[in-house]
Copies of this chain bind each other. A is one copy, B any other.
Amino acid sequence: MSQRVKVKQILLDENTNYDVVVKGWIRSFRNNQFIALNDGSTNNNLQIVLEPDSITPDILKRLTTGAAISVKGAVIPSLGKGQRVEVKAAELEILGDCDPEKYPLQLKNRPSLEYLREIAHLRFRTNTFGAIFRVRHALAFAVHKFFNERGFVYLHTPIITASDAEGAGEMFHVTTLDIKNPPLGENGEIDYKEDFFGKATNLTVSGQLEGELGAMAFGDIYTFGPTFRAENSNTARHLAEFWMIEPEMAFYDLEDNMNLAEAFIKSVIGYVLENNREDLEFLAQRLEEEDKQKPQQERSELGLIPKLEFVLNNEFERLTYTEAIDILKNSKPNKTKKFNYIIEEWGADLQSEHERFLVEKHFRKPVILTDYPKAIKAFYMKQNEDGKTVRAMDILFPGIGEIVGGSQREENYDKLVTRMEEMHLPVNEMSWYLDTRRFGACPHAGFGLGFERLVLFVTGMGNIRDVIPFPRTPKSAEF
Protein backbone atom coordinates (compact mmCIF):
# COMPACT_ATOMS: atom_id res chain seq x y z
CA MET A 1 0.00 0.00 0.00
CA SER A 2 3.08 2.18 0.10
CA GLN A 3 2.37 3.91 -3.19
CA ARG A 4 -0.93 5.37 -2.07
CA VAL A 5 -1.00 9.14 -2.39
CA LYS A 6 -3.69 11.38 -0.94
CA VAL A 7 -5.81 13.49 -3.28
CA LYS A 8 -4.75 16.74 -1.62
CA GLN A 9 -1.11 16.01 -2.34
CA ILE A 10 -1.74 15.15 -5.99
CA LEU A 11 -3.72 18.35 -6.49
CA LEU A 12 -0.97 20.42 -4.84
CA ASP A 13 1.92 18.73 -6.65
CA GLU A 14 3.34 20.75 -9.53
CA ASN A 15 4.58 17.62 -11.25
CA THR A 16 2.70 15.41 -13.67
CA ASN A 17 3.41 12.13 -15.47
CA TYR A 18 4.04 9.86 -12.51
CA ASP A 19 2.28 6.74 -11.30
CA VAL A 20 0.15 6.65 -8.19
CA VAL A 21 -2.32 4.55 -6.30
CA VAL A 22 -5.32 6.56 -5.09
CA LYS A 23 -8.07 5.32 -2.81
CA GLY A 24 -11.30 7.02 -1.92
CA TRP A 25 -15.01 7.24 -2.50
CA ILE A 26 -16.86 8.03 -5.69
CA ARG A 27 -18.64 11.37 -5.51
CA SER A 28 -19.97 11.13 -9.07
CA PHE A 29 -19.53 9.10 -12.24
CA ARG A 30 -20.52 10.45 -15.64
CA ASN A 31 -20.39 9.41 -19.27
CA ASN A 32 -19.18 5.97 -18.21
CA GLN A 33 -15.75 7.57 -18.12
CA PHE A 34 -15.18 10.28 -15.49
CA ILE A 35 -15.06 9.53 -11.78
CA ALA A 36 -14.90 12.35 -9.24
CA LEU A 37 -12.94 10.73 -6.41
CA ASN A 38 -12.82 12.11 -2.86
CA ASP A 39 -10.67 10.74 -0.05
CA GLY A 40 -11.48 13.32 2.63
CA SER A 41 -8.05 14.96 2.55
CA THR A 42 -9.63 17.96 0.80
CA ASN A 43 -13.08 19.00 -0.35
CA ASN A 44 -11.79 18.91 -3.92
CA ASN A 45 -12.25 15.78 -5.99
CA LEU A 46 -9.68 14.12 -8.18
CA GLN A 47 -10.84 13.29 -11.69
CA ILE A 48 -10.21 9.68 -12.68
CA VAL A 49 -10.46 8.97 -16.38
CA LEU A 50 -11.32 5.47 -17.54
CA GLU A 51 -10.27 4.22 -20.94
CA PRO A 52 -13.42 3.60 -22.95
CA ASP A 53 -14.22 -0.11 -23.06
CA SER A 54 -11.53 -0.91 -20.47
CA ILE A 55 -14.12 -1.70 -17.81
CA THR A 56 -16.57 -4.57 -17.98
CA PRO A 57 -20.30 -3.71 -17.83
CA ASP A 58 -20.45 -5.62 -14.57
CA ILE A 59 -17.94 -3.29 -12.93
CA LEU A 60 -19.33 -0.20 -14.63
CA LYS A 61 -22.68 -0.52 -12.94
CA ARG A 62 -21.02 -0.82 -9.53
CA LEU A 63 -19.29 2.55 -9.96
CA THR A 64 -21.93 4.37 -7.97
CA THR A 65 -21.82 7.39 -5.68
CA GLY A 66 -20.37 6.39 -2.31
CA ALA A 67 -18.54 3.26 -3.47
CA ALA A 68 -14.95 2.85 -2.22
CA ILE A 69 -12.38 2.19 -4.94
CA SER A 70 -8.66 1.85 -5.46
CA VAL A 71 -7.16 3.13 -8.70
CA LYS A 72 -3.69 2.71 -10.09
CA GLY A 73 -2.72 5.06 -12.86
CA ALA A 74 -0.74 8.01 -14.11
CA VAL A 75 -1.16 11.62 -13.03
CA ILE A 76 -1.38 13.62 -16.27
CA PRO A 77 -2.27 17.19 -17.21
CA SER A 78 -6.02 17.46 -17.68
CA LEU A 79 -7.45 18.65 -20.95
CA GLY A 80 -10.89 19.20 -19.45
CA LYS A 81 -12.05 22.30 -17.61
CA GLY A 82 -12.11 22.50 -13.83
CA GLN A 83 -8.94 20.64 -12.95
CA ARG A 84 -5.24 20.99 -13.64
CA VAL A 85 -4.47 17.29 -13.42
CA GLU A 86 -6.30 14.00 -13.61
CA VAL A 87 -5.47 10.33 -13.21
CA LYS A 88 -5.64 8.04 -16.21
CA ALA A 89 -6.68 4.73 -14.72
CA ALA A 90 -4.68 1.62 -15.55
CA GLU A 91 -6.25 -0.60 -12.89
CA LEU A 92 -9.43 -0.14 -10.88
CA GLU A 93 -10.64 -2.19 -7.94
CA ILE A 94 -13.91 -1.83 -6.10
CA LEU A 95 -13.25 -2.08 -2.36
CA GLY A 96 -16.80 -1.55 -1.16
CA ASP A 97 -20.06 -1.21 -3.04
CA CYS A 98 -22.70 1.39 -2.33
CA ASP A 99 -26.24 0.47 -3.33
CA PRO A 100 -27.78 3.56 -4.98
CA GLU A 101 -31.26 2.36 -4.05
CA LYS A 102 -30.39 2.55 -0.36
CA TYR A 103 -27.65 5.18 -0.03
CA PRO A 104 -29.18 8.37 1.33
CA LEU A 105 -26.55 10.72 -0.10
CA GLN A 106 -27.28 11.11 -3.80
CA LEU A 107 -26.17 14.19 -5.67
CA LYS A 108 -29.50 14.54 -7.44
CA ASN A 109 -31.69 15.37 -4.47
CA ARG A 110 -29.62 17.63 -2.27
CA PRO A 111 -30.47 16.72 1.32
CA SER A 112 -31.47 19.43 3.81
CA LEU A 113 -29.36 20.21 6.88
CA GLU A 114 -32.24 18.93 9.03
CA TYR A 115 -32.26 15.60 7.26
CA LEU A 116 -28.47 15.35 7.46
CA ARG A 117 -28.69 15.87 11.21
CA GLU A 118 -30.75 12.68 11.37
CA ILE A 119 -28.00 10.82 9.52
CA ALA A 120 -25.11 12.52 11.30
CA HIS A 121 -23.09 9.32 10.92
CA LEU A 122 -23.02 9.84 7.15
CA ARG A 123 -23.09 13.62 6.83
CA PHE A 124 -19.28 13.90 7.08
CA ARG A 125 -19.32 12.58 3.51
CA THR A 126 -20.95 15.74 2.11
CA ASN A 127 -19.01 18.78 0.91
CA THR A 128 -20.63 21.01 3.53
CA PHE A 129 -19.79 18.85 6.53
CA GLY A 130 -16.41 17.93 5.11
CA ALA A 131 -15.56 21.63 5.09
CA ILE A 132 -17.10 22.32 8.52
CA PHE A 133 -15.18 19.58 10.29
CA ARG A 134 -11.88 20.30 8.59
CA VAL A 135 -12.31 23.91 9.75
CA ARG A 136 -13.22 22.69 13.23
CA HIS A 137 -10.05 20.59 13.27
CA ALA A 138 -7.94 23.55 12.15
CA LEU A 139 -9.45 25.81 14.82
CA ALA A 140 -8.73 23.21 17.50
CA PHE A 141 -5.15 22.90 16.36
CA ALA A 142 -4.80 26.69 16.23
CA VAL A 143 -6.00 26.86 19.85
CA HIS A 144 -3.25 24.51 21.02
CA LYS A 145 -0.66 26.22 18.85
CA PHE A 146 -1.53 29.67 20.21
CA PHE A 147 -1.23 28.66 23.85
CA ASN A 148 1.77 26.39 23.37
CA GLU A 149 3.73 29.17 21.71
CA ARG A 150 3.01 31.42 24.69
CA GLY A 151 4.15 28.89 27.28
CA PHE A 152 0.69 28.00 28.61
CA VAL A 153 0.28 24.55 30.15
CA TYR A 154 -2.67 22.50 28.83
CA LEU A 155 -4.42 21.26 31.97
CA HIS A 156 -6.93 18.40 31.82
CA THR A 157 -9.44 19.43 34.49
CA PRO A 158 -11.80 16.73 35.72
CA ILE A 159 -15.01 15.81 33.88
CA ILE A 160 -16.63 14.06 36.82
CA THR A 161 -16.81 16.40 39.75
CA ALA A 162 -18.43 16.83 43.12
CA SER A 163 -18.31 20.63 42.84
CA ASP A 164 -20.36 23.17 40.89
CA ALA A 165 -18.17 25.97 39.54
CA GLU A 166 -20.77 28.60 38.85
CA GLY A 167 -23.06 27.83 41.75
CA ALA A 168 -25.74 27.59 39.10
CA GLY A 169 -26.68 25.66 35.99
CA GLU A 170 -28.45 22.35 35.76
CA MET A 171 -26.07 19.41 36.00
CA PHE A 172 -26.09 15.78 34.91
CA HIS A 173 -25.78 13.22 37.68
CA VAL A 174 -23.11 10.55 37.30
CA THR A 175 -23.72 7.37 39.23
CA THR A 176 -23.23 3.63 39.34
CA LEU A 177 -26.10 3.15 41.77
CA ASP A 178 -29.03 1.02 40.70
CA ILE A 179 -31.42 3.84 39.96
CA LYS A 180 -34.42 1.62 40.49
CA ASN A 181 -33.29 0.43 43.92
CA PRO A 182 -30.82 2.95 45.27
CA PRO A 183 -29.40 2.33 48.75
CA LEU A 184 -31.05 4.54 51.35
CA GLY A 185 -29.51 5.78 54.58
CA GLU A 186 -31.22 5.81 57.94
CA ASN A 187 -32.70 9.21 57.17
CA GLY A 188 -34.42 7.83 54.08
CA GLU A 189 -32.14 9.76 51.73
CA ILE A 190 -29.96 8.18 49.04
CA ASP A 191 -26.79 6.79 50.60
CA TYR A 192 -24.15 8.14 48.26
CA LYS A 193 -21.42 6.47 50.29
CA GLU A 194 -22.42 3.40 48.27
CA ASP A 195 -21.90 5.23 44.98
CA PHE A 196 -18.71 4.76 42.96
CA PHE A 197 -17.01 7.87 44.27
CA GLY A 198 -18.52 7.68 47.76
CA LYS A 199 -20.44 10.91 47.18
CA ALA A 200 -22.85 12.49 44.71
CA THR A 201 -21.08 13.47 41.51
CA ASN A 202 -21.96 15.41 38.37
CA LEU A 203 -20.58 16.26 34.96
CA THR A 204 -18.50 19.43 35.03
CA VAL A 205 -19.99 22.74 33.89
CA SER A 206 -16.60 24.45 33.82
CA GLY A 207 -12.95 23.70 34.53
CA GLN A 208 -12.26 27.21 35.75
CA LEU A 209 -11.90 26.62 39.48
CA GLU A 210 -9.46 23.76 38.92
CA GLY A 211 -7.78 25.89 36.26
CA GLU A 212 -7.11 28.57 38.85
CA LEU A 213 -5.29 25.98 40.96
CA GLY A 214 -3.00 25.35 37.99
CA ALA A 215 -2.45 29.04 37.27
CA MET A 216 -1.19 29.53 40.84
CA ALA A 217 1.66 27.15 40.00
CA PHE A 218 2.32 27.34 36.24
CA GLY A 219 1.39 30.98 35.81
CA ASP A 220 -0.51 30.43 32.58
CA ILE A 221 -2.70 27.42 31.89
CA TYR A 222 -5.61 26.57 29.63
CA THR A 223 -8.21 23.87 29.47
CA PHE A 224 -9.85 22.50 26.34
CA GLY A 225 -12.39 19.84 27.12
CA PRO A 226 -16.05 18.89 27.17
CA THR A 227 -18.49 20.64 29.51
CA PHE A 228 -22.14 19.91 30.15
CA ARG A 229 -25.41 21.71 30.86
CA ALA A 230 -28.58 19.80 31.58
CA GLU A 231 -30.74 22.70 30.49
CA ASN A 232 -33.85 22.00 28.51
CA SER A 233 -32.92 24.54 25.83
CA ASN A 234 -33.99 23.43 22.40
CA THR A 235 -32.40 26.27 20.46
CA ALA A 236 -29.95 26.71 17.60
CA ARG A 237 -27.40 28.05 20.13
CA HIS A 238 -27.42 25.44 22.91
CA LEU A 239 -25.94 21.99 23.35
CA ALA A 240 -26.06 19.74 26.42
CA GLU A 241 -22.47 18.66 25.68
CA PHE A 242 -20.00 21.13 24.22
CA TRP A 243 -16.29 21.89 24.23
CA MET A 244 -14.89 24.83 26.09
CA ILE A 245 -11.52 26.54 26.20
CA GLU A 246 -10.65 28.19 29.51
CA PRO A 247 -7.32 29.97 29.95
CA GLU A 248 -6.37 31.21 33.39
CA MET A 249 -3.44 33.52 34.00
CA ALA A 250 -1.62 34.54 37.16
CA PHE A 251 -0.54 38.19 37.37
CA TYR A 252 -3.12 39.29 34.76
CA ASP A 253 -5.57 42.09 35.33
CA LEU A 254 -8.75 42.69 33.32
CA GLU A 255 -6.96 44.61 30.59
CA ASP A 256 -4.33 41.89 30.13
CA ASN A 257 -7.23 39.44 29.99
CA MET A 258 -9.01 41.41 27.24
CA ASN A 259 -5.79 41.77 25.28
CA LEU A 260 -5.16 38.05 25.44
CA ALA A 261 -8.72 37.12 24.47
CA GLU A 262 -8.70 39.45 21.49
CA ALA A 263 -5.27 38.26 20.33
CA PHE A 264 -6.41 34.66 20.78
CA ILE A 265 -9.55 34.98 18.68
CA LYS A 266 -7.68 36.85 15.95
CA SER A 267 -4.91 34.27 15.95
CA VAL A 268 -7.16 31.25 15.45
CA ILE A 269 -9.25 33.01 12.80
CA GLY A 270 -6.05 34.03 11.05
CA TYR A 271 -4.91 30.42 11.13
CA VAL A 272 -7.95 29.08 9.27
CA LEU A 273 -7.88 31.95 6.78
CA GLU A 274 -4.36 30.88 5.98
CA ASN A 275 -4.76 27.11 6.13
CA ASN A 276 -8.35 26.36 5.12
CA ARG A 277 -9.00 28.70 2.25
CA GLU A 278 -10.75 26.12 0.07
CA ASP A 279 -13.04 24.99 2.88
CA LEU A 280 -13.91 28.60 3.74
CA GLU A 281 -14.56 29.45 0.09
CA PHE A 282 -16.92 26.51 -0.15
CA LEU A 283 -18.73 27.55 3.03
CA ALA A 284 -18.87 31.17 1.84
CA GLN A 285 -20.58 30.07 -1.35
CA ARG A 286 -23.00 27.90 0.61
CA LEU A 287 -23.88 30.86 2.82
CA GLU A 288 -24.38 33.10 -0.20
CA GLU A 289 -26.79 30.60 -1.75
CA GLU A 290 -28.64 30.20 1.53
CA ASP A 291 -28.89 33.98 1.85
CA LYS A 292 -30.55 34.23 -1.54
CA GLN A 293 -33.51 32.35 -0.10
CA LYS A 294 -33.96 34.95 2.62
CA PRO A 295 -35.65 38.35 2.59
CA GLN A 296 -33.21 41.20 1.90
CA GLN A 297 -32.98 42.49 5.48
CA GLU A 298 -32.01 39.09 6.91
CA ARG A 299 -29.10 38.55 4.55
CA SER A 300 -25.51 38.84 5.72
CA GLU A 301 -23.99 42.20 4.93
CA LEU A 302 -20.56 40.75 4.43
CA GLY A 303 -19.58 37.48 2.80
CA LEU A 304 -18.03 34.88 5.10
CA ILE A 305 -14.40 35.58 4.28
CA PRO A 306 -14.68 39.40 4.38
CA LYS A 307 -16.46 39.00 7.73
CA LEU A 308 -13.54 36.97 9.13
CA GLU A 309 -11.03 39.43 7.69
CA PHE A 310 -12.97 42.29 9.26
CA VAL A 311 -12.65 40.70 12.71
CA LEU A 312 -8.96 40.11 12.12
CA ASN A 313 -8.23 43.66 11.06
CA ASN A 314 -10.31 45.74 13.48
CA GLU A 315 -9.93 46.41 17.17
CA PHE A 316 -12.79 45.16 19.28
CA GLU A 317 -14.82 47.99 20.81
CA ARG A 318 -14.33 48.12 24.58
CA LEU A 319 -16.81 49.79 26.89
CA THR A 320 -18.32 49.32 30.32
CA TYR A 321 -21.73 47.87 31.02
CA THR A 322 -22.73 51.29 32.37
CA GLU A 323 -21.81 52.97 29.08
CA ALA A 324 -23.68 50.26 27.19
CA ILE A 325 -26.82 50.83 29.26
CA ASP A 326 -26.69 54.53 28.37
CA ILE A 327 -26.45 53.72 24.68
CA LEU A 328 -29.27 51.19 24.91
CA LYS A 329 -31.57 53.47 26.93
CA ASN A 330 -31.26 56.15 24.29
CA SER A 331 -31.46 53.77 21.34
CA LYS A 332 -34.30 53.89 18.85
CA PRO A 333 -35.56 50.33 19.48
CA ASN A 334 -35.72 51.11 23.21
CA LYS A 335 -37.59 54.40 22.76
CA THR A 336 -39.98 52.96 20.19
CA LYS A 337 -40.45 49.83 22.31
CA LYS A 338 -39.20 47.52 19.58
CA PHE A 339 -37.12 45.59 22.15
CA ASN A 340 -39.01 42.80 23.87
CA TYR A 341 -37.24 43.80 27.09
CA ILE A 342 -37.18 47.59 27.45
CA ILE A 343 -34.08 48.86 29.24
CA GLU A 344 -35.45 50.94 32.08
CA GLU A 345 -32.51 51.27 34.41
CA TRP A 346 -28.98 50.34 35.36
CA GLY A 347 -28.77 46.77 36.66
CA ALA A 348 -30.83 45.11 33.96
CA ASP A 349 -29.41 41.89 32.54
CA LEU A 350 -28.71 42.28 28.85
CA GLN A 351 -30.75 40.12 26.52
CA SER A 352 -29.61 38.77 23.21
CA GLU A 353 -31.54 41.55 21.40
CA HIS A 354 -29.54 44.21 23.27
CA GLU A 355 -26.23 42.53 22.60
CA ARG A 356 -27.09 42.23 18.92
CA PHE A 357 -28.08 45.88 18.75
CA LEU A 358 -24.74 46.96 20.19
CA VAL A 359 -22.69 44.68 17.96
CA GLU A 360 -24.65 44.64 14.74
CA LYS A 361 -26.27 48.10 14.64
CA HIS A 362 -24.44 50.50 16.91
CA PHE A 363 -20.74 49.56 16.75
CA ARG A 364 -20.88 47.17 13.80
CA LYS A 365 -17.90 45.21 15.16
CA PRO A 366 -17.06 42.82 18.01
CA VAL A 367 -17.62 44.44 21.38
CA ILE A 368 -16.11 43.79 24.82
CA LEU A 369 -18.37 44.82 27.67
CA THR A 370 -16.79 45.16 31.09
CA ASP A 371 -17.63 45.94 34.70
CA TYR A 372 -21.07 44.38 34.98
CA PRO A 373 -23.28 44.69 38.07
CA LYS A 374 -22.12 42.14 40.60
CA ALA A 375 -25.69 40.91 41.13
CA ILE A 376 -25.81 39.33 37.65
CA LYS A 377 -22.33 37.78 37.69
CA ALA A 378 -20.53 34.88 39.37
CA PHE A 379 -19.15 34.95 42.91
CA TYR A 380 -15.47 34.70 41.94
CA MET A 381 -15.26 37.97 39.99
CA LYS A 382 -13.13 40.77 41.38
CA GLN A 383 -15.17 43.45 43.07
CA ASN A 384 -14.64 47.02 41.97
CA GLU A 385 -14.21 49.80 44.51
CA ASP A 386 -17.68 51.15 43.69
CA GLY A 387 -19.19 48.22 45.59
CA LYS A 388 -21.63 47.68 42.72
CA THR A 389 -19.72 46.23 39.80
CA VAL A 390 -17.24 43.44 39.13
CA ARG A 391 -14.31 43.16 36.76
CA ALA A 392 -16.17 41.00 34.28
CA MET A 393 -15.81 41.01 30.52
CA ASP A 394 -18.05 39.51 27.85
CA ILE A 395 -17.05 39.48 24.22
CA LEU A 396 -20.03 39.81 21.90
CA PHE A 397 -19.90 38.73 18.27
CA PRO A 398 -22.24 39.48 15.38
CA GLY A 399 -24.77 36.71 14.80
CA ILE A 400 -23.47 34.75 17.80
CA GLY A 401 -23.88 36.97 20.83
CA GLU A 402 -21.62 36.11 23.77
CA ILE A 403 -18.61 34.14 22.54
CA VAL A 404 -16.33 34.77 25.52
CA GLY A 405 -17.12 35.35 29.19
CA GLY A 406 -14.36 36.15 31.60
CA SER A 407 -13.15 38.27 34.47
CA GLN A 408 -10.37 39.24 36.73
CA ARG A 409 -10.81 37.02 39.78
CA GLU A 410 -11.28 38.20 43.34
CA GLU A 411 -7.94 37.33 44.96
CA ASN A 412 -8.80 38.77 48.39
CA TYR A 413 -9.76 35.94 50.71
CA ASP A 414 -12.12 37.93 52.94
CA LYS A 415 -13.96 39.63 50.11
CA LEU A 416 -14.37 36.32 48.30
CA VAL A 417 -15.71 34.48 51.34
CA THR A 418 -18.12 37.31 52.14
CA ARG A 419 -19.47 37.18 48.58
CA MET A 420 -19.79 33.39 48.73
CA GLU A 421 -21.75 33.67 51.95
CA GLU A 422 -24.03 36.33 50.46
CA MET A 423 -24.70 33.94 47.59
CA HIS A 424 -25.23 30.94 49.90
CA LEU A 425 -22.35 28.95 48.46
CA PRO A 426 -20.81 26.09 50.48
CA VAL A 427 -17.67 27.83 51.75
CA ASN A 428 -16.43 24.81 53.69
CA GLU A 429 -16.72 22.41 50.78
CA MET A 430 -14.72 24.81 48.66
CA SER A 431 -11.85 25.10 51.07
CA TRP A 432 -9.49 23.69 48.41
CA TYR A 433 -10.43 26.54 46.07
CA LEU A 434 -9.99 29.11 48.79
CA ASP A 435 -6.44 27.85 49.40
CA THR A 436 -5.47 29.78 46.26
CA ARG A 437 -6.36 32.92 48.27
CA ARG A 438 -4.69 31.67 51.45
CA PHE A 439 -1.30 30.72 50.10
CA GLY A 440 0.49 33.12 47.77
CA ALA A 441 -2.60 34.78 46.28
CA CYS A 442 -2.04 37.13 43.37
CA PRO A 443 -4.08 39.11 40.88
CA HIS A 444 -5.25 36.73 38.18
CA ALA A 445 -7.79 36.50 35.42
CA GLY A 446 -9.23 34.17 32.84
CA PHE A 447 -12.00 33.56 30.37
CA GLY A 448 -14.06 30.83 28.78
CA LEU A 449 -14.77 30.45 25.08
CA GLY A 450 -17.44 28.07 23.83
CA PHE A 451 -15.65 26.25 21.04
CA GLU A 452 -18.79 25.47 19.03
CA ARG A 453 -19.79 29.12 19.01
CA LEU A 454 -16.42 29.94 17.52
CA VAL A 455 -16.86 27.21 14.89
CA LEU A 456 -20.36 28.53 14.19
CA PHE A 457 -18.99 32.00 13.57
CA VAL A 458 -16.09 30.87 11.41
CA THR A 459 -18.11 28.47 9.24
CA GLY A 460 -21.11 30.79 8.88
CA MET A 461 -23.47 27.99 9.85
CA GLY A 462 -26.75 28.86 11.57
CA ASN A 463 -27.30 25.93 13.93
CA ILE A 464 -24.84 24.78 16.56
CA ARG A 465 -25.92 21.16 15.96
CA ASP A 466 -24.21 21.36 12.59
CA VAL A 467 -20.74 22.17 13.93
CA ILE A 468 -20.26 19.34 16.45
CA PRO A 469 -19.98 15.78 15.13
CA PHE A 470 -22.75 14.20 17.23
CA PRO A 471 -24.91 16.82 18.98
CA ARG A 472 -26.41 16.05 22.38
CA THR A 473 -29.63 17.96 22.96
CA PRO A 474 -32.84 17.34 24.91
CA LYS A 475 -34.27 13.96 23.91
CA SER A 476 -31.41 13.30 21.49
CA ALA A 477 -28.21 11.31 22.03
CA GLU A 478 -27.97 9.36 18.80
CA PHE A 479 -24.89 7.47 17.61
Contacts and interface: CB of A to CB of B under 8 A. Distances in A.
Interface of A: 1, 4, 6, 8, 23-26, 39-41, 66-68, 70, 95-99, 102-103, 121-122, 124-125, 129-130, 133-134, 136-137, 140-141, 144, 148, 151, 153-163, 170, 172-177, 179-180, 182, 189-190, 196-199, 201, 203, 210, 213-214, 216-220, 225-226, 228, 230, 232, 240-241, 243, 250-253, 256, 411, 432-433, 435-443, 468-470, 472, 474-479
A24 B219 contact: yes
Contacts of A228: 159-160
B162 A173 contact: no
Given A121-B433, A137-B148, A174-B203, 8 more contacts: A25-B440, A66-B440, A68-B441, A133-B218, A137-B154, A177-B179, A179-B179, A179-B190
A95 B161 CA distance: 31
Contact of A469 (B1, B203, B214, B433): B214
A475 B198 contact: yes
B198 A158 contact: no
B160 A240 contact: yes
Given A8-B151, A153-B137, A435 B122 contact: yes
Contact of A23 (B25, B174, B250): B250
A58 to B, nearest CB: 18
A129 B67 CA distance: 51
Given A217-B40, A251-B23, A470-B157, A198 B476 contact: yes
Contacts of A438: 98-99, 102
A1 B472 contact: no
A68 B173 contact: no
Given A41-B151, A157-B470, A179-B182, A125 B477 contact: no
A390 B420 CA distance: 58
A462 to B, nearest CB: 20
A29 to B, nearest CB: 13
Contacts of A182: 179-180
Contact of A67 (B102, B440, B470, B476): B440
Nearest to A431: B121
Contacts of A155: 133, 137, 469
Contacts of A170: 176
B477 A96 contact: no
A413 to B, nearest CB: 9
Contacts of A67: 440
B196 A474 contact: yes
A92 to B, nearest CB: 14
A163 B479 contact: yes
A470 to B, nearest CB: 5
